[in-house]
């Protein structure tokens, strides 16, 4: 069985034959949208695509749907997707961004988790009205112009436009839900409860069994539901949330790595260091030094 590809920013740049080698975000204008693969893939990024015209067949997990422009397509990290052209030459603008990039100046590390349209359900396809098309066209034009020019504050401006894009996407998703009140979401209530509990307890509780016990389910059932809904197991959610917490704390130069290890409730600094390196590819000290 062929392994599912995982696309990071660098690999995505190569797929679309772009010279831009930024590590944290990637903008693909309609003139560059010529994907060379229709194989199933995961990304380690978030993405929002603006399909202006044409049709694509999109599979997310076990669900397949046709997206017809004008529409938005949202892609969360680690969820298996495949995208196929239904007709030639779809017109599409696309922005990929890493969670760590967007959250760099955010005090709330769970900010992106509140947007349900990134989850593995039908809400990742959002048809747009003529008025909404004008609004999203303006946002993507601004994103493209900022990224392609040599601006001294490119990253800060891109974060600001991404925040606007997220808010407008959320508003479009809410309007779609209001217009279709009979449409039931397939998001499992256990997912929302798990996220809420995780945000409160992750600094002290790292074991799936704790969350399962608090939610009155077995660890196996919890992980199965969470993976079905998001593409990640409960354990992966815990690990990635801990890494986000660690990265935020490592930005504080007043804290030693040993103190950060204690704050995150690791048994000692060595265990924390191994955990961090396994999940990021670098030691906590190397990560801290890369911030300067």
Question: pLDDT truncated to tens, each residue of the chain (292 aa)?
Answer: 344 456 777 777 766 666 666 788 999 887 766 655 555 566 788 999 999 999 988 876 546 778 899 999 998 876 657 777 777 778 899 999 999 899 988 888 878 878 888 875 556 889 999 999 999 999 999 999 998 887 889 999 999 999 999 999 999 999 988 877 654 445 678 887 898 788 789 889 999 999 999 999 999 999 999 988 888 899 999 998 898 788 878 877 888 999 999 999 999 999 999 999 999 899 999 988 887 6
**Residue-wise burial string across 136-153, b where 16 or more C-beta atoms lie within 10 A, e elsewhere:** beebbebbbebbeeeeee
Helix axes 269-280, 234-250, angle to 10 degrees: 110
Coil vs helix vs strand at 211: helix
**Residues whose CB is less than 8 angstroms from the CB of residue 70 and which lie 6 or more positions away in sequence, other chains included:** 50, 51, 52, 53, 127, 128, 132, 133, 136
Q: Is 75 exposed, middle or buried (0-12, 13-18, 19+ CB in 10 A)?
A: buried
pLDDT (0 to 100) of residue 1: 37
Q: Which two tokens stand for residue 102?
A: 């967007």
The boundaries of every CATH 2.60.120.280 domain in the chain are: 5-179
Which residue is associated with the tokens 């959250």? 103
Q: How far is CA 248 from CA 26, 65, 106, 129, 237, in A?
A: 23, 38, 9, 39, 17
Q: Are 208 and 222 in contact (CB under 8 A)?
A: yes
**Residues whose CB is less than 8 angstroms from the CB of residue 12 and which lie 6 or more positions away in sequence, other chains included:** 26, 43, 45, 96
The boundaries of every CATH 1.10.10.60 domain in the chain are: 189-290
| C-alpha closest to that of 266 among 206, 217, 211 | 206
The CATH architecture assigned to 5-179 reads Sandwich (2.60)
Coil vs helix vs strand at 278: helix
| C-alpha closest to that of 50 among 136, 154, 160 | 136
pTM, two decimals, is 0.65
Q: Are 93 and 16 in contact (CB under 8 A)?
A: no
HSE-CB at 59 with a 13 A cutoff on CA atoms is: 14
Cβ atoms within 10 Å of 220's Cβ, excluding its own = 11
Cβ atoms within 10 Å of 199's Cβ, excluding its own = 14
Task: Tell me 88's DSSP state.
Answer: S
The CATH architecture assigned to 189-290 reads Orthogonal Bundle (1.10)
Coil vs helix vs strand at 43: strand
């Amino acid at each position: 069985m062929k392994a599912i590809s995982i696309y990071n920013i660098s690999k995505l740049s190569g797929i679309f034959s772009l010279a831009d080698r930024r590590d944290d975000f990637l903008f693909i204008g309609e003139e560059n949208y010529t994907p060379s693969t229709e194989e199933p893939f995961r990304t380690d990024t978030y993405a929002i695509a603006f399909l202006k015209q044409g049709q694509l067949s999109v599979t997310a997990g076990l669900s397949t749907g046709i997206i017809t422009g004008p529409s938005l397509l949202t892609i969360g990290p680690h969820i298996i997707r495949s995208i196929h052209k239904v007709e030639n030459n779809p017109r599409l603008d696309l922005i990929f961004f890493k969670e760590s990039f967007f959250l760099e100046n955010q005090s709330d590390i769970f900010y992106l988790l509140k947007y349900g349209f990134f989850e593995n359900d039908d809400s990742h396809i959002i048809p747009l009205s003529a008025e909404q098309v004008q609004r999203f066209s303006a946002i993507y034009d601004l994103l493209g112009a900022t990224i392609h020019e040599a601006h001294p504050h490119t990253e800060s401006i891109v974060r600001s436009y991404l925040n606007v894009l997220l808010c407008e996407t959320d508003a479009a998703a809410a309007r779609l839900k209001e217009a279709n009140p009979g449409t039931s979401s397939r998001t499992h209530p256990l997912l929302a409860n798990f996220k809420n509990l995780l945000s409160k307890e992750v600094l002290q509780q790292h074991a799936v069994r704790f969350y399962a016990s608090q939610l009155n389910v077995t660890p196996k059932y919890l992980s199965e539901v969470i993976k079905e809904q998001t593409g990640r197991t409960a354990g992966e959610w815990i690990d990635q949330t801990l890494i986000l917490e660690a990265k935020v704390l490592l930005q504080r130069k007043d804290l030693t790595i040993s103190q950060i290890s204690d704050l995150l409730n690791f048994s000692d600094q060595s265990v924390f260091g191994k955990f961090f390196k396994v999940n990021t590819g670098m030691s906590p000290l190397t990560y801290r030094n890369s911030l300067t």
